[in-house]
Amino acid sequence: ETGVTQSPTHLIKTRGQQVTLRCSSQSGHNTVSWYQQALGQGPQFIFQYYREEENGRGNFPPRFSGLQFPNYSSELNVNALELDDSALYLCASSYAGEETQYFGPGTRLLVL
Amino acid sequence: AQSVTQLGSHVSVSEGALVLLRCNYSSSVPPYLFWYVQYPNQGLQLLLKYTSAATLVKGINGFEAEFKKSETSFHLTKPSAHMSDAAEYFCAVRQNTGGFKTIFGAGTRLFVKA
């Protein structure tokens, strides 16, 4: 059983650019959530996808968007990057209705 | 609305001493509660979880936590600290009525002195 993987591990972008981060869920998991973890803070919930549809969103603007694919891999897209978007982005997968999420190692994004 | 407060952003203990990391939560519905550990440059690893069964929950690496509804607390303990326990610890809450959103505390960094 493979765990949750994320790519890339690190990324440097310039303010105003767009970025796509990728996540491969643990085998069989049909739900994925994305979190933003700024330096020195706890993770903040961005949104969750279930069966390719967004079914919950945190307090993040629309320039944060996502996709979930039939094989349950997913993407987080961020448009018009701002300096404050610099953070560790974590994805977590789970079975729908189960309370335990399994986290990937994260992608560290630096916006200059 | 749900929230989590972790008391103490930094805790330092000597190797072999008791570890106590404090977490208080607020939830309008019965919660699920979690403790996660994060090592440098890594993701989150689940230590233990409370899901309305036994109030004393045992986790990995010798950690345990007790759910106290009257105190709205879910403190994490370990009888004897090991150098390898040095990491960041996060308490988290999630509603158990089909909610999707997990709320994390700000974290407590544990230092273990030789």
Give per-residue pLDDT as tens, A85-112.
999 999 999 887 777 889 999 999 999 9
pLDDT of residue A10: 96
- Say if residues B54 and B74 touch (Cβ distance below 8 Å): no
pLDDT band at B94 (very low <50, low <70, confident <90, very high): confident
Tokens representing residue B92 in the block: 């988290």
* Cα–Cα–Cα angle for A100, A107, A67, rounded to 5 degrees: 70
B25, burial (CB in 10 Å: exposed 0-12, middle 13-18, buried 19+): buried
Partners of A55 on chain B (C-beta within 8 Å) are 100
pLDDT of residue B98: 55
Partners of A44 on chain B (C-beta within 8 Å) are 104
Interchain contact, A41 vs B103, CB within 8 Å: no
8-state DSSP, B60: G
Interchain contact, B94 vs A99, CB within 8 Å: yes
8-state DSSP, B27: -
Task: Select the more confidently predicted residue: B23 or A1.
Answer: B23
Interchain contact, B102 vs A97, CB within 8 Å: no
B91: closest CA of chain A, how far (Å): 9
pLDDT of residue A97: 74
B39: closest CA of chain A, how far (Å): 10
Share the mean pLDDT of chain A: 93
Task: Select the more confidently predicted residue: A12 or B69.
Answer: A12
Interchain contact, A100 vs B49, CB within 8 Å: yes
Whole-angstrom Cα distance, residue A86 to residue B6? Answer: 24
pLDDT of residue B57: 95
pLDDT of residue A100: 85
- pLDDT (average), residues A10-31: 94
Residue B28 has pLDDT above 70, yes or no: yes
Share of chain B above pLDDT 70, in %: 96
8-state DSSP, A60: -
